[in-house]
Structure 1
Amino acid sequence: MLKVEMLKLKHKHIGLMLIGSIFIQFVVAIYADNKSETNIIQGYMISLYQFAQLNVIIFPIIIGVIMSNLCDIEHKGNTFKQLFTMQEVKKLFNTKFIIATSYLLLGLAFQILGIVVIGQYLNFGDTLPVKQYILYFISQSATNVFVIILIQSFALYFSNQFVPIVLGITGSFLGLMSGFFGKLVMMFIPTSYYQLLTTVSMKWSRKPRTISYTFIDFPVFSFIIIISLSIITFFVGRRYFKKKEV
């Protein structure tokens, strides 16, 4: 089933789109790092904060594009009824989820590798905090998983595959804007967890107009929330998909 789903993505260049979007993040990060001496001195720490912000913009949109491409063929050919005579509904839902998640996990791994390369290229002054980057990978993956489940549920239920793309763009916008309204508001917006789960805090001081970055404890409560929501959304989304008229 995994092989069949991968064949459906043939010639759709999902991997290239994902790598291209992450490359754009690198370009933005390198440009920002070259503009500030502080960003070079604390480069690895600041990259954790910086890329979490960039993920809010990039990943929801990419997930929307991936899910649109992954779910459109069944809708176009109206083949759900034929498929469900050969395989269970939940297995189709599970397989698409595994494919999308695998792409995003590889994308995050590529992103972290890119940060390390950038750090070597720009000669970051701090030591690479391996533990913090492991936590970063786990937390950003958890957020990606939730967004994948949410958008996939809509992509499989609605035949119009512009819906997941709109959801991705909307999620990106809401996640970005929620940062201006504080953590209480952010907790109710799924894409805000890219920022909520970061282990780096940024503080702005008007006098003498400086920005300082510090490591903070891993936000366990927010992590539990996103994991719980992922589990609930997965089973609810799959249940509604099983009830879909085919």
Structure 2
Amino acid sequence: MGFLKNFFDDVFADERPTAMAAPPTSSFEQLSEGQLEAHLQVAQYGDFTLTDAVRPSYNLEVVPSAGYRHDVYRDEENRADVPVLMAAASKERLLDIFMELIEQLGETVDVVLETSHGHRAGHHTDLYREQIDMPILQSILWDFEDLLANDGCTGIAVLNPSVPQEVQLDEHKLLIAYGASLQTYEEILDDHQIPCREQMRFITEAEHVHSSNERFVDQFEELKMRLGMDGE
């Protein structure tokens, strides 16, 4: 059954706030088990390869592809607009790019692990670790490459409050950089031949499904321990 065995959660529509009283009809509702399994097995879209973490809608409202665009995050608490870079990279480049991006944050950083294991759709838990040396962090993360790339219920953010900047590899395996002076991050994406496409849409901006399994739950607990994170 492959990917279908790992089918984790209800179908997500666009996760941005919406005024709709009820969710739209899912493109998965009328599929047979065979049709669903066949769709979930597809990882290759042109020269772009998805990880096992997420799959697009059956009608491919958004076709997965590589690229990045500029955006803005509104920090309501501080009444400030924070520049954002959002990027999608093919599976074979994803972790290499992420590691290169977080190196720009400095020698000592803070780490946030995000997990939605055991949560209903749209909910998650954040775990925080302060002050870890970058080489140690990267060594640990490479040991958990499979989890970070392929678990649709695990995300990670690395930040340096003194800069301040933050780099995320979220549950959808999108690369996101927040903060001022993001030119260095743009240059890294350019060096990896990730094109700037300001009109591109990401898989999060349409219906999609996440995948996880018990093996990843166990690996997450081990990663949490290796990073010295306490709490549930």
Higher relative helix content: 1
Higher relative strand content: 2
TM-score w.r.t. length of structure 1: 0.24
Larger radius of gyration: 1
